[in-house]
């Protein structure tokens, strides 16, 4: 019985082992997909017999060993349209033009191989210049007859008599549009993330270094935000954490910020690289103009240019304006006198123009003039901005094919050019920028140049475009209440600067803070309060300085003569010295110098005097005192001082003296009369004697 059981167990075990072996063999026979990527490619042909397509494929066998491998290189039917080319690169090919098969060595399990491929133009039937054009090129890997991986790229055949190369330029934006500006030197979480080791900005800095070192930066223009650069400079000099801890310039973030600035500055020392300046912030310039603050919009463009020049050592192009989020007619009118051209994305325009994208277009202004609009090729730019996780080499070959189609389709037109625009802080893979500048410099149908040169040499399109400021941009603008408050703060800054002596940096601090108040991040409801805080701090600073000055109350001042000194005492309770202007006035007094300017020391009382002449001496008059900022814009304090003049009025004095003289003469005559009692005048005496003779027997008249 035991032997029977053992025999049964042995048979079952044998069946299980055979089943496992068969299952393992079946798994070995099953073909699964492999991973394959394009490591490099040279696929620009001149139509000569000795031309060769060279490529390096990165093949990952995965967990399975692979044998009986063949690579089929297929040239598909020529495409003449960028949309067809894009569809072909995604696998939607129209037909087969030619095909070549190559046997490959077996791959071990887990092996990663760089497989070099060389296929002659003659093998691909592309050895004739008359076949000029762009062809989808597919590499397909087969294992025992089953396709396990494929890559589609492109091959370009250059015509025997090629058209002139197209002017080409690439604009890379370096602006932290989503990063809230620093307040003082306090590091924000946004800026800390921007300086992380794996951040887009740090990766861009590495790419810029590679671009500079490789000598392939021709045609590169950096669109820089002065506020972003200023914040980096602040951090590089040492910064504070939100909890108050201080970090010196040796801190890792400070070193990264300094490195980024150094690489930008170093790249801009090259004569083949130029820069543009965004409005400082970057600022919501359309909202500023709409809110009646066009001067502020212009100021922010000027400030941005100054910051770029100061922090990179080279001035940006000053005749090309880069609005960060579209443009409307009023903003064009406000900025037009300081700009020859505007750089805009296609989505901000109506009447885009011909089938072939034209980078320089004409815009009619409200006054009947014209300005140039520079428009990047959206389709070409998207090649760099949407790398599809295919690797840098595949992306560059897509760019090669797309620019070749533009070149062949332009047929030497004067208005044709290639203008690319990408966000340097977007999702560009590491090494993409350097690879793009290398590719542009190497392609024979492109002539790299700065954006300013391209704008000068390329003819504008015949069609006149219209602006299409999108509703989304309009809805996102800083609101009217915010702009009004910003205008009030800007007005307050003028007297603040006038009140504070040149040696005081308080005004500069508020000025820098206010410059960032119109930045795009403050559009967000979550950040709006932080922007308003900058504005309110400036207005509050003026209120604080104005409230710090007072006139000391004093008893009435008495002048003992018609002229005299009127003292006025002023108190400055601020911690800063203040420059003020004092005016006095009165209907009862005339002042030698009714206006004077002086500096009030901090936390002190100062007395000044005004020399006055009483117009009506002998009375009590009020003297008005007004203390203003030196510009006269803001009245800090006003008061009235009572002044009494005890001097006798001149007219009354003359009348009194005249009356006294009259009374003196009259009194003297009366006194002389009293000294001779009964005496009269000589006539009176003669008359009296005659009367006496007549009465006492004097002579009588004779006759009847």
The verdict on 508 and 424 lying in the same domain is no
pLDDT of res. 646: 82
Residue 217 has pLDDT above 50, yes or no: yes
The verdict on 365 and 402 lying in the same domain is yes
The verdict on 180 and 287 lying in the same domain is yes
pLDDT of res. 390: 78
**Least confident interval from 46-50, 488-492, 636-640:** 46-50
The verdict on 269 and 314 lying in the same domain is yes
Residue 259 has pLDDT above 80, yes or no: yes
Residue 566 lies in a domain: yes
Residue 546 has pLDDT above 80, yes or no: yes
* Span 439-446, average pLDDT: 93
Of the pLDDT bands very low, low, confident and very high (cuts 50, 70, 90), residue 215 is low
The verdict on 536 and 558 lying in the same domain is no
Of the pLDDT bands very low, low, confident and very high (cuts 50, 70, 90), residue 11 is very low
Q: Which of 234, 333, 335 is nearest to 277 (CA)?
A: 335
pLDDT of res. 356: 63
* Span 570-584, average pLDDT: 94
Instruction: Give CA–CA dist 637/659, Å, rounded.
Output: 49
Residue 325 has pLDDT above 50, yes or no: yes
* Span 626-632, average pLDDT: 93
Burial, 412: exposed, middle or buried (Cβ in 10 Å; 0-12, 13-18, 19+)?
exposed
* Span 179-186, average pLDDT: 92
Q: Which of 99, 41, 55, 91 is nearest to 75 (CA)?
A: 99
pLDDT of res. 154: 95
- Three-state DSSP class for residue 78: coil
CATH at 589? 2.60.40.10
Residue 657 has pLDDT above 50, yes or no: no
Instruction: Give CA–CA dist 606/499, Å, rounded.
Output: 16
* Span 518-533, average pLDDT: 93
Residue 704 lies in a domain: no
In our burial notation (b when 16+ CB lie closer than 10 A, e otherwise), range 506-542 reads bbeebbbbbbbbbbbbbbeeebeebbbebbebbbebb
**Least confident interval from 166-170, 209-213, 331-335, 488-492:** 209-213
Of the pLDDT bands very low, low, confident and very high (cuts 50, 70, 90), residue 386 is low
Instruction: Give CA–CA dist 231/260, Å, rounded.
Output: 12
Residues near 543 by Cβ (< 8 Å), separated by ≥ 6? none
**Least confident interval from 5-19, 498-512, 608-622, 658-672:** 5-19
Of the pLDDT bands very low, low, confident and very high (cuts 50, 70, 90), residue 426 is confident
Residue 419 lies in a domain: yes
Residue 622 φ/ψ region, left for φ over 0, alpha for ψ in the -120 to 50 degree band, beta for the rest: beta
The verdict on 198 and 63 lying in the same domain is no
The verdict on 575 and 543 lying in the same domain is no
* Span 643-664, average pLDDT: 54
pLDDT of res. 1: 45
- 197 vs 669: which has the higher pLDDT: 197
DSSP 8-state secondary structure symbol assigned to residue 15: H
Structure confidence by residue, pLDDT tens digits, 283-292: 999 999 999 9
Instruction: Give CA–CA dist 595/606, Å, rounded.
Output: 16
This model's pTM is above 0.85: no
Structure confidence by residue, pLDDT tens digits, 463-484: 888 899 999 999 999 999 999 9
Residue 77 lies in a domain: yes
The verdict on 541 and 560 lying in the same domain is no
Residue 490 has pLDDT above 60, yes or no: yes
| Residue that is last in its domain, among 422, 448, 474 | 474
User: ∠ CA(324), CA(326), CA(331), 5° rounding?
Assistant: 100
Residue 621 lies in a domain: yes
Of the pLDDT bands very low, low, confident and very high (cuts 50, 70, 90), residue 672 is low
The verdict on 49 and 190 lying in the same domain is no
The verdict on 94 and 45 lying in the same domain is yes
The verdict on 218 and 350 lying in the same domain is yes
Q: Which tokens sit at 703?
A: 């006759």
Rounded mean pLDDT of the chain? 85
Of the pLDDT bands very low, low, confident and very high (cuts 50, 70, 90), residue 247 is very high
Question: Quick count: other Cβ atoms within 10 Å of Cβ 374?
Answer: 25
* Total domain count, the chain: 5
pLDDT of res. 6: 44
Of the pLDDT bands very low, low, confident and very high (cuts 50, 70, 90), residue 649 is low
Structure confidence by residue, pLDDT tens digits, 80-92: 888 888 888 887 8
Residue 381 lies in a domain: yes
Residue 676 lies in a domain: no
pLDDT of res. 214: 66
| Residue that is last in its domain, among 600, 623, 645 | 645
CATH at 415? 3.20.110.10
Please compute, for residue 225, the number of CA atoms within 13 A of its CA located in the half-sphere on the CB side. 26
* Span 120-130, average pLDDT: 91
Omega before 344 within 30 of 0, i.e. cis? no
Of the pLDDT bands very low, low, confident and very high (cuts 50, 70, 90), residue 279 is very high
The verdict on 336 and 433 lying in the same domain is yes
Residue 700 lies in a domain: no
Question: What is the residue range of 73's domain?
Answer: 35-157
| Residue that is last in its domain, among 645, 668, 694 | 645
């Amino acid at each position: 019985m035991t032997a029977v059981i053992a025999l049964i167990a042995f048979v079952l075990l044998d069946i299980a082992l055979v089943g496992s072996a068969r299952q393992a063999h079946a798994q070995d026979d099953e073909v699964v997909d492999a991973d394959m990527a394009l490591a490099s490619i040279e696929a620009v042909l001149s139509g000569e017999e000795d031309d060769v397509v060279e490529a390096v494929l990165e093949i990952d066998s995965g967990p399975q060993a692979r044998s009986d491998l063949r690579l089929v290189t297929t040239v598909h039917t020529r495409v003449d349209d960028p949309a067809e080319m894009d569809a072909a690169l995604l696998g939607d090919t129209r037909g087969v033009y030619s095909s070549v098969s190559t046997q490959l060595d077996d791959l071990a399990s887990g092996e990663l191989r760089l497989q070099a491929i060389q296929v002659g133009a003659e093998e691909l039937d592309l050895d004739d210049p008359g076949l000029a054009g762009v062809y989808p090129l597919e590499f397909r890997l087969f294992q025992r007859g089953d396709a396990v991986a494929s890559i589609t790229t492109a091959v370009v055949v250059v015509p025997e008599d090629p058209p002139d190369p197209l002017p080409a330029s690439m604009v890379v934006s370096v602006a932290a549009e989503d990063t809230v500006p620093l307040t003082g030197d306090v590091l924000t979480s946004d800026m800390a993330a921007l300086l992380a080791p794996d951040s887009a900005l740090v990766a861009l800095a590495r790419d810029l270094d590679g671009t500079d070192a490789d000598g392939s930066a021709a045609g590169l223009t950096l669109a820089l935000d002065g506020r972003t650069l200023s914040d980096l400079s602040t951090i590089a000099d040492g910064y504070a954490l939100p909890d108050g801890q201080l970090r010196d310039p040796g801190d890792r973030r400070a070193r990264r910020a300094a490195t980024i600035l150094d690489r930008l500055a170093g790249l801009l020392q090259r004569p083949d690289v130029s820069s543009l300046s965004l409005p400082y912030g970057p600022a919501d310039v359309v909202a500023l103009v709409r809110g009646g603050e066009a001067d502020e919009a212009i100021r922010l463009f000027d400030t941005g240019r100054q910051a770029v020049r100061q922090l990179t050592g080279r001035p940006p192009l000053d005749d090309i304006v880069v609005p960060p989020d579209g443009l409307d007619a009023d903003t064009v009118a406000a900025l037009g006198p300081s700009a020859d051209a505007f750089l805009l994305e296609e989505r901000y325009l109506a009447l885009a123009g011909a089938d072939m994208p034209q980078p320089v277009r004409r815009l009619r202004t409200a006054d009947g003039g014209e300005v140039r609009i520079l428009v990047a090729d959206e389709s070409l730019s998207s090649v760099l901005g949407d790398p599809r996780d295919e690797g840098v080499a595949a992306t560059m070959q897509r760019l090669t094919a797309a620019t070749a189609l533009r070149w062949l389709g332009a047929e030497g037109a004067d208005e044709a050019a290639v203008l690319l625009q990408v966000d340097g802080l977007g999702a560009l893979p590491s090494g993409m920028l350097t690879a793009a500048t290398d590719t542009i410099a190497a392609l024979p149908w492109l002539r790299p140049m700065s954006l300013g040169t391209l704008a000068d040499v390329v003819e504008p399109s015949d069609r006149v475009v219209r602006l299409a400021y999108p509703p989304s941009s309009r809805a996102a603008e800083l609101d009217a209440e915010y702009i009004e408050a910003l205008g009030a703060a800007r007005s307050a800054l003028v007297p603040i600067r006038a009140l504070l002596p040149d040696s005081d940096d308080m005004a500069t601090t508020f000025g820098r803070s206010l410059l960032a108040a119109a930045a795009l991040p403050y559009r967000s409801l979550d950040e709006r309060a932080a922007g308003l805080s900058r504005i309110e701090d400036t207005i509050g600073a003026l209120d604080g300085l104005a409230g710090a000055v007072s006139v000391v109350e004093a008893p009435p001042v008495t002048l003992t003569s018609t002229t005299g000194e009127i003292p006025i005492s002023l108190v400055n309770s601020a911690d800063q010295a203040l420059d003020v202007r004092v005016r006095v006035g009165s209907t009862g007094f005339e002042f030698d110098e009714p206006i004077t300017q002086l500096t009030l020391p901090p936390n002190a009382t100062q007395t000044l005097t005004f020399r006055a002449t009483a117009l009506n001496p002998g009375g009590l008059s009020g003297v008005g005192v007004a203390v203003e900022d030196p510009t006269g814009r803001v009245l800090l304090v006003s008061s009235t001082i009572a002044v009494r003049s005890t001097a006798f009025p001149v007219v009354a004095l003359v009348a009194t003296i005249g009356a006294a003289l009259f009374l003196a003469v009259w009194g003297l005559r009366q006194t002389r009369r009293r000294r001779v009692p009964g005496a009269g005048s000589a006539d009176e005496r003669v008359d009296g004697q005659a009367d006496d003779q007549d009465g006492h027997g004097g002579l009588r008249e004779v006759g009847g």
